[in-house]
Amino acid sequence: MTLSVAVTGASGLIGSALVPVLTAAGHAVTRLVRRAPGPGEARWDPGAGQIDAAALEGTDVVVHLAGESIASARWTVERKRRIRDSRVVGTGLLARTLAALNRPPQLLVSASAIGLYGHRGDTPLTESDPPGTGFLAEVGRDWEGATGPASQAGIRVVLLRFGIILSPQGGALARMLPPFRLGVGGPLGSGRQWMSWLTIADAVGIIRHGITCPELSGPVNAVAPEPVTNAEFTRSLGTVLGRPAVLPVPTFALELLFGEMAGEALLGSQRVLPRRLEETGYAFRDPVLLPALRRLLTTG
């Protein structure tokens, strides 16, 4: 079935992989952009509270991926405000707009993140577990909460709690590759913190699963079924690259360099499991880390 799909964050890591897949499948895609729109685009400016509502009338699905990177710079008061507003304010504007349409979409797929769970040590976490504490947990709770007007209007809302997305084209893995290729990569802090990850192929696949699976709604952990510790991750990456990965980065150095961000984004532990995806029959392309890294770093 051919669908009309609107996408925010279409130029980001997930969006730039998703849009070509949707287009190749025959779907009509409209990108929501902040600049002057071109063909196949509509304008929105969340900071100014502006959105082209007419362009969304009759759209079947909206995929909302926009949000400022949490790990590209040290957290200042202003940067934390931008991180929060880029998620909560934009999501609220979009949800209210969709709820007020004469012909609203059937589905809103809205990005969220496993940072919502906070630092939880070795505890396995599923969608039934409550949010944790800390800045990212607060942002995640408010981010998901901002979709409320859409669900209240009868729109099916899928909240994808993304883990660390692995792609050599961007994100965490792309930033890790240069030092690891030089043989100076290694665990962060103790290395015992859990990393819940997924490949970019599965990020796209999970969004498509959300579109085609009508029983899927609410929070969904978008992570591979086998999380690993940071030490296991670095060891696997070193193995694939044929380089040693034994030089740890001390906790105090991370805290000195990155401040508050180190404790939450780099050293925080979230052992997250994809219960809802498994219950609804999603078939992972990359369920296990080592072969996933081999495929990514061989074929991209």
Q: What phi and psi, each to the nearest 5 degrees, are found at residue 72? A: -90, -10
Q: What is the pLDDT of residue 299?
A: 66
CATH for 214: 3.40.50.720
Q: Which residue carries 């240069």 as its tokens?
A: 178
28-33 and 4-8 strand pairing: parallel
Q: Which pLDDT belongs to residue 56?
A: 97
Name the DSSP letter for residue 182: T
Token pair of 187, please?
């665990």
Closest CA to 164 of 121, 123, 135, 193: 193
Q: Supply 247's token pair.
A: 């030089």
Q: Give every residue of the chain whose pLDDT is below 50, as ranges.
A: none
pLDDT of residue 258: 75
Domain that holds residue 286: 4-299
Handedness of CA 112, 118, 123, 129 (dihedral sign): negative
Per the document, the length of the chain is 300
Q: Total structural domains in the chain?
A: 1
Full-model pTM: 0.95
Strands 107-113 and 61-64: parallel
What pLDDT is stored for residue 72 in this prediction?
72
Residue type present at position 116: L
User: Residue 200: how many CB atoms within 10 A of its CB?
Assistant: 24
